[in-house]
Amino acid sequence: MRRLTVTTLVVLCVAAAGCEALRYAPGQAQKQNAWLHNRTALIAAQTARDEDTSARLQALTGLCEVQSRAFMADYGLPAEPVKAETAEDVLDESNYELASVATAEAAARPDAWDLADSTLDLAIGLAGLLGGVYGTRAVRFLNKARTKTKALKEIIEGNEVFKDRHKEYAEDFKDAHSKQSPETKQLVTVIKG
């Protein structure tokens, strides 16, 4: 009973959070980029005022600088801020590279397999806290689940390699899997996606 309860709680927590909410914590490149964005917006707003541009452009750059503070606050300050005292500093080629790296980091999401492993680790830790007979049984059950998850991953990856190498058998492959239950098809689709 406790095994089912622990497993159910873990699954419900993950389901409630949803996959879209899962993100890695911002890395140093993302923190540096957020800080640099704020500096860029600040310098742009100052430049717009100094060059006596239109009121509209001054208002836009001023708003951009204020909005940029939220990104910096969300990401946190970098361990080593980028030198950005002047427009020339900001426009340095290395900052374009930093923006590309930060964009790639921001787009990264946890891998479904990593998430499954982390969830199982959490469940095993919780089962260990329960202790006793139920805790031992739960740990055994969760270790089996981890082994099965790893096997499923290897099977799906092997299937994808086979399909890539043997495109002439694609229809036969689809036909062989057409009798899978809707639940299995959905699970495979989620794992592949």
Interatomic CA distance for residues 78 and 34, integer angstroms: 9
Q: What's the pLDDT score for residue 40?
A: 96
Structure tokens at 116: 């499954």
- Residues of the chain with pLDDT > 70: what percent? 83
Beta carbons of 40 and 99 less than 8 angstroms apart:
no
User: Residue 150: which of 186, 192, 185, 113 has the closest Cα?
Assistant: 113
Report domain extents, the chain: 23-107, 111-192
Q: 73 vs 3, which has greater pLDDT?
A: 73
Q: 177 vs 14, which has greater pLDDT?
A: 177
Asked if pLDDT for residue 70 goes beyond 80, the answer is yes
> pLDDT-derived band of residue 151, with 50, 70 and 90 as boundaries?
confident
Q: What's the pLDDT score for residue 112?
A: 66
Average pLDDT over residues 152-171: 84
Asked if pLDDT for residue 129 goes beyond 80, the answer is no
